[in-house]
Amino acid sequence: MKRKLRDRPRSLPFILTLSTSLIVVAVVVTASFVQYNRFNESLISNKTTNSTQMVEQVANTLNSYMKNLLNTSDKIIYSLSSHEDALYDEERTGQIILASAYQMNTSIAAISIFDEDGEILAIAPQKPTREVSSIIRQEWYQNAVKNTSSYLFSPPHVQNIFQGEYFWTVTLSRKLDVVSEVFPEGTLFTLDMNFDQMDEYCANATIGKQGYVFIVDENNNIIYHPQQQVINAGMKAEDLDFIAGKADGEYIHAPDDSVLVIRTLDDTGWRLVGISYLNEASEVRNEIISYVSIVLIASFLAIFTISFLLSKIVLRPLEKLTESMKLVRDGNFNTMKEMNSTYEVEQLSISFNHMVNRINDLMGQVILEEQELRKSELSALQSQINPHFLYNTLDSILWMCEKNRGPEAAVMVSALASLFRISISKGKELIPIRDELTHAESYLIIQKIRYKDQFTYTFDVDESLKSYLCPKICLQPIIENAIYHGIDRCVDQGKIHIRITEKDDDILMQVIDNGLGMSEDILAGILLSESQNDYGIGLKNVNSRVQIFFGKKYGISISSQLDEGTCVSILIPRITEDVTHV
């Protein structure tokens, strides 16, 4: 009794129970990944929000700072152009205005007015200055002179206009519109801002524990960085290529797992870049990664175990059944096997074996029916050499004998004998091309004599193709169409040209005539199965036989033009073995 229970096929629900376990593990893994992704998304969102708020705060501060300096420069230039004492003591008044503005604004490091030769006309604070030559050689000064816009902010640079003093500054330069003896045309107004103020604004903008902001100019060069000395020493580098061309917005920089926020400052065209690092939350993320890793390992072990059990219970018998199906697909129907597996797989095996048996029986029946069909089609084609044609040919031979035209009668008798001999061909359905050409020429000899040389014919055959096989009586129905429907009603002498050439790996057989041709309507329907016109019956039979033997790739194609002639082409493969007997 125990043996019977052990031998009883296991049911599919048992296997489905194991599969359910796999699904549960997959759900757990998926849920873990979803939670991890949500955490990452939340982390990125919070970091992006904090970074954006800090960068916008610094940008607003810097914009206000720059705007304040522009307003200060406007007031100074306005005072220079409108002061009543300017005509009385213009130079002294300009000096007073600059000194007053300098004392009132602690963010200004120096205010200067240069003539077009670089001479200092007025400056605040009043300290000993360097020679003109040392000033006009500086890059900031040359850029200011060349500038054609209303104002220009220079990149941060070391200002050494005063003797013995060096300080970092950003210079605001403007051309004066005031034209006088003291301030002639080309006079340059400059305002050096206290760079320490800008550094303080940016240095205090910390984003998280490691984040910071830096500034690049319109050419993507760093003009301020809280770690400028480290940058200059080559110990640190920013990914400026990633920043280049980016519009204002928030971006994830994958190489260092950071968030970049970019904002353009209003008056300078500079761009403020804030960087914050996602790895600051690495402890929490590492815990999640550890948890997910444990879940993944456990899932992998569970999946491995379940897969092993499934392969023992279901997969191996199914693989054997699949192999049997492949053999059947390749034409081997002797592959039936009994499968000892689950009840469902055994039933599938029984059904498959039954199906193979049935297919085998049906294929044998189809083969017999196709053989009978081919015989019937061949008989139909052979019957096209109908009694009327035989009667006319024999009548012509009798007439020639009565008129003592024995040689011509002998030619017709020989051609007629060859015609029928090849038509029989010992029951073969595929014959060598040379025999098919002999059959076609025999038919042409008879018709040429009957039609009293109303047409001529020529052959153009590649000799290397004559040994290949072709369907029997495939040229004669086409030649018959060319004579009856093309040449018979022509006034001029007709011409029939039979050409056999290679086309890639196949053989192209063509019958070309210079007869009346066909209209497009007749040409379009000539090979259709429902077509019953006189043109198409023989051609359809030949086309059907070619496709039965060789497949839909092969068969007849026709090109024709009214009053020009017709070309009927038969495409067949190169074969040397009769496929009908394989």
Give tens-digit pLDDT for 105-157.
888 889 988 888 888 888 888 888 888 777 888 888 888 888 888 888 888 88
Choose among 461, 464, 462, 471: nearest CA to 431: 471
pLDDT score, position 374: 65
CA-based torsion, 401, 403, 407, 409: positive or negative: negative
- From 296, 320, 344, the end of a domain falls on 320
Q: Could you list the beta-strand ranges (E) of 427-545.
A: 430-432, 455-461, 469-471, 494-503, 506-513
For residue 377, tell me if it sits in a domain: no
For residue 74, tell me if it sits in a domain: yes
Residue 563: helix, strand or coil by DSSP?
coil
In sequence order, what DSSP letters do the residues of 520-553 get, joined into one string?
HHHHHHTTSTT--STTHHHHHHHHHHHHHHH-TT
Lowest mean pLDDT among 194-198, 374-378, 505-509: 374-378
Task: Give CA–CA dist 23/16, Å, rounded.
Answer: 10
Asked whether residue 130 falls in the same domain as residue 224, the answer is: yes
Q: Are 505 and 570 in contact (CB under 8 A)?
A: no
Give the chain's domain count: 3
pLDDT band at residue 4, thresholds of 50, 70 and 90?
A: very low
Instruction: Report DSSP state, residue 180.
Output: S
Q: Are 499 and 570 in contact (CB under 8 A)?
A: no
Task: Give CA–CA dist 514/564, Å, rounded.
Answer: 6
pLDDT band at residue 418, thresholds of 50, 70 and 90?
A: confident
Asked whether residue 547 falls in the same domain as residue 417, the answer is: yes
Boundaries of domain holding 346: 333-372
Cα-Cα-Cα-Cα dihedral of 280, 285, 287, 289, to 10°? -140
Cα-Cα-Cα-Cα dihedral of 332, 338, 341, 347, to 10°? 90
**Angle (nearest 5°) at CA 461 between 417 and 481:** 60
For residue 366, tell me if it sits in a domain: yes
Task: Give CA–CA dist 145/186, Å, rounded.
Answer: 9
CATH number at residue 162: 3.30.450.20
Terminal CA-CA length for the chain: 54
Task: Give CA–CA dist 41/50, Å, rounded.
Answer: 14
pLDDT greater than 70 at residue 533: no
For residue 2, tell me if it sits in a domain: no
Asked whether residue 287 falls in the same domain as residue 345, the answer is: no
Q: Are 321 and 348 in contact (CB under 8 A)?
A: yes
357-370: average pLDDT: 79
Give pairs for 317-325: CB < 8 Å, separation 24+: 317/341, 317/342, 317/345, 317/349, 318/345, 321/345, 321/348, 321/349, 321/352, 324/352, 325/352
pLDDT greater than 60 at residue 515: yes
Asked whether residue 180 falls in the same domain as residue 300, the answer is: yes
pTM for this model (two decimals): 0.44
320-331: average pLDDT: 75
pLDDT greater than 70 at residue 386: no
Task: Give CA–CA dist 89/450, Å, rounded.
Answer: 133
Which two structure tokens, joined as six digits, stand for 167? Answer: 């300080």
Asked whether residue 357 falls in the same domain as residue 284, the answer is: no
Which two structure tokens, joined as six digits, stand for 109? Answer: 């490091």
> What number of other Cβ atoms are within 10 A of residue 543's Cβ?
21
508-528: average pLDDT: 85
5-30: average pLDDT: 59
Asked whether residue 264 falls in the same domain as residue 168, the answer is: yes
For residue 68, tell me if it sits in a domain: yes
Asked whether residue 164 falls in the same domain as residue 217, the answer is: yes
Residue 362 burial (C-beta neighbours within 10 Å; 0-12, 13-18, 19+): exposed
pLDDT score, position 2: 44
Task: Give CA–CA dist 557/510, Å, rounded.
Answer: 10
For residue 3, tell me if it sits in a domain: no
Which two structure tokens, joined as six digits, stand for 531? Answer: 């077509």
Asked whether residue 552 falls in the same domain as residue 433, the answer is: yes
Task: Give CA–CA dist 457/467, Å, rounded.
Answer: 22
Task: Give CA–CA dist 475/196, Å, rounded.
Answer: 102
Asked whether residue 139 falls in the same domain as residue 288, the answer is: yes
- From 311, 343, 372, the end of a domain falls on 372
Asked whether residue 410 falls in the same domain as residue 282, the answer is: no
For residue 250, tell me if it sits in a domain: yes
pLDDT per residue over 466-476, tens digit each?
999 998 888 98
pLDDT per residue over 217-272, tens digit each?
888 888 888 888 888 888 888 888 898 888 999 888 888 888 889 999 888 888 99
pLDDT band at residue 394, thresholds of 50, 70 and 90?
A: confident
pLDDT greater than 70 at residue 479: yes
306-333: average pLDDT: 71
In sequence order, which residues have a C-beta less than 8 Å from that of residue 394 and are 6 or more positions away?
Answer: none
pLDDT score, position 48: 81
Asked whether residue 417 falls in the same domain as residue 513, the answer is: yes
CATH number at residue 560: 3.30.565.10
pLDDT score, position 460: 95
Task: Give CA–CA dist 111/76, Å, rounded.
Answer: 10
Cα-Cα-Cα-Cα dihedral of 111, 115, 118, 124, to 10°? -20
pLDDT greater than 80 at residue 183: no
Edge-to-edge strand list for the sheet holding 494-503: 455-461, 494-503, 506-513, 565-573, 555-561
Q: Please report, as a single letter, which amino acid is at residue 517.
A: G
Alpha carbon separation from 274 to 45, 156, 216, 248, 430 (Å, rounded): 15, 19, 11, 11, 84
For residue 4, tell me if it sits in a domain: no
pLDDT band at residue 65, thresholds of 50, 70 and 90?
A: confident
Q: Are 207 and 54 in contact (CB under 8 A)?
A: yes
Q: Are 553 and 402 in contact (CB under 8 A)?
A: no
Asked whether residue 286 falls in the same domain as residue 348, the answer is: no
pLDDT greater than 70 at residue 13: no
Task: Give CA–CA dist 207/222, Å, rounded.
Answer: 19
pLDDT band at residue 14, thresholds of 50, 70 and 90?
A: low
Task: Give CA–CA dist 408/403, Å, rounded.
Answer: 11
- Pairing state between β 455-461 and 494-503: parallel
pLDDT band at residue 530, thresholds of 50, 70 and 90?
A: low
pLDDT score, position 135: 81
**Angle (nearest 5°) at CA 274 between 269 and 277:** 160
pLDDT score, position 501: 95
pLDDT greater than 60 at residue 532: no
pLDDT score, position 25: 66
Please provide the average confidence, as pLDDT, over all residues in the chain: 79
